[in-house]
């Protein structure tokens, strides 16, 4: 059994929270720069130029790319042969607390959804754990802004709605969101499972690099088709019109019940942030 001290978890998360908020992942930058090259609409070109300038400034000065430094989503893939010495939940939250305080990040979490008092340190983290084979610990920190989170939707479709129903729901969700989630967006889709699993898969889909397509060619084709259809909507960067509405569509799927077809769409903005390390 490999031992990892909980304070290592804390330090890693603090560091990742700052890096993730100030440095956009390379694949997302590449998508935006490619989109700029292929964007025919002048207003849209100007906005993409400003977006590129913005993440350059953020990276050079270690300041947040966006002021919404999000709720801090933390994904732990814990090898079954690893033992974490100490309180995992407390260690994760301490990492978020430190990262958000030391990194001058915004504290955007309220303790209670109805009474709404800010916790003051961006805790608690949204913690997702998965037990996997092996003796490694994979940590992903993904700050998630709520401009795009608020535009996310879930539908319990009928099996008879089929693939056309799924496509229509995804397109409708993106079109209705329009300018609100800061397009160009990245679209995370979860299909199958249960009500809650579909939502989880959609969030997980956003953690995948935009360079990677679904391993199953059927779903990879669906990703490509949806990206093309979304970019034909004409919403454009910031909703002012243009070709670049989405940078990528990532789909995750899993088995489901004979009576159901859950589909969840988790929208992320052009400031799609996640950073992973393996201990």
Q: Which residues make up the interface to other proteins (CB under 8 A)?
A: 40-41, 43-44, 47, 50-51, 53-55, 57-58, 61, 63-69, 104-108, 116, 118, 120, 147, 150, 178-182, 234-236, 238-243, 269-271
**Least distance CB 275 / other proteins (angstroms):** 18
Return the one option of other proteins, ligand SF4, none that residue 140 interacts with (CB less than 5 to 8 A, by type).
none
Chain centroid to CA 208: 9
Q: What is the number of other CB atoms lying within 10 angstroms of the CB of residue 135?
A: 15
Distance (Å, whole) CA 220 – CA 232? 19
**Least distance CB 147 / ligand SF4 (angstroms):** 3
Q: Which is nearer to other proteins, 70 or 193 (CB)?
A: 70
**Least distance CB 147 / other proteins (angstroms):** 5
**Least distance CB 143 / other proteins (angstroms):** 11
Distance (Å, whole) CA 221 – CA 42? 30
Give the position of tokens 């729901």.
169
Return the one option of ligand SF4, other proteins, none that residue 98 interacts with (CB less than 5 to 8 A, by type).
none
Q: Which is nearer to other proteins, 134 or 234 (CB)?
A: 234
Q: Which residue is nearest to ligand SF4 (CB)?
A: 145
Q: Which is nearer to other proteins, 178 or 260 (CB)?
A: 178
Q: Which residues bind ligand SF4 (CB under 6 A)?
A: 66, 68, 145, 147-148, 181-182, 269, 271
Q: Which is nearer to other proteins, 14 or 261 (CB)?
A: 14
Both tokens of 124, joined, read 């608690």
In sequence order, which residues have a C-beta less than 8 Å from that of residue 20 and are 6 or more positions away? 141, 142, 143, 273, 274, 275
In sequence order, which residues have a C-beta less than 8 Å from that of residue 61 and are 6 or more positions away? none
Distance (Å, whole) CA 14 – CA 77? 17
Residue 34 has phi, psi (to 5 degrees) of: -65, -40
């Amino acid at each position: 059994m490999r031992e990892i001290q909980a304070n290592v978890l804390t330090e890693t998360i603090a560091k990742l929270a700052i890096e993730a908020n100030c440095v956009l992942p390379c694949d997302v930058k590449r998508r935006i720069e490619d989109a700029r090259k292929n964007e025919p609409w002048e207003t849209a070109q100007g906005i993409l130029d400003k977006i590129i300038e913005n993440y350059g400034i953020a990276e050079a000065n270690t300041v947040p790319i966006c002021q919404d430094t999000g709720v801090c989503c933390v994904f732990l893939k814990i090898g079954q042969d690893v033992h974490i010495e100490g309180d995992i939940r407390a260690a994760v939250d301490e990492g978020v607390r430190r990262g958000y305080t030391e990194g001058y990040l915004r504290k955007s979490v309220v303790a209670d959804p109805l009474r709404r008092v800010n916790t003051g340190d961006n805790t608690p983290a949204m913690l997702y754990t998965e037990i996997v084979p092996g003796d490694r610990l994979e940590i992903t920190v993904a700050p998630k802004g709520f401009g795009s989170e608020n535009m996310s939707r879930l539908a319990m479709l009928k099996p008879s709605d089929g693939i056309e129903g799924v496509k229509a729901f995804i397109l409708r969700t993106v079109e209705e969101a329009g300018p609100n989630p800061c397009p160009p967006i990245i679209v995370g889709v979860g299909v199958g499972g249960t009500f809650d699993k579909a939502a989880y898969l959609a969030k997980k889909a956003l953690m995948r690099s935009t360079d990677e397509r679904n391993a199953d060619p059927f779903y990879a084709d669906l990703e490509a088709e949806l990206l093309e259809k979304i970019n034909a909507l004409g919403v454009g960067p910031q909703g002012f019109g243009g070709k670049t509405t989405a940078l990528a569509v990532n789909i995750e799927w899993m088995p489901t019940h004979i009576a159901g077809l859950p589909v969840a769409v988790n929208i992320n903005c052009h400031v799609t942030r996640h950073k992973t390390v393996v201990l």
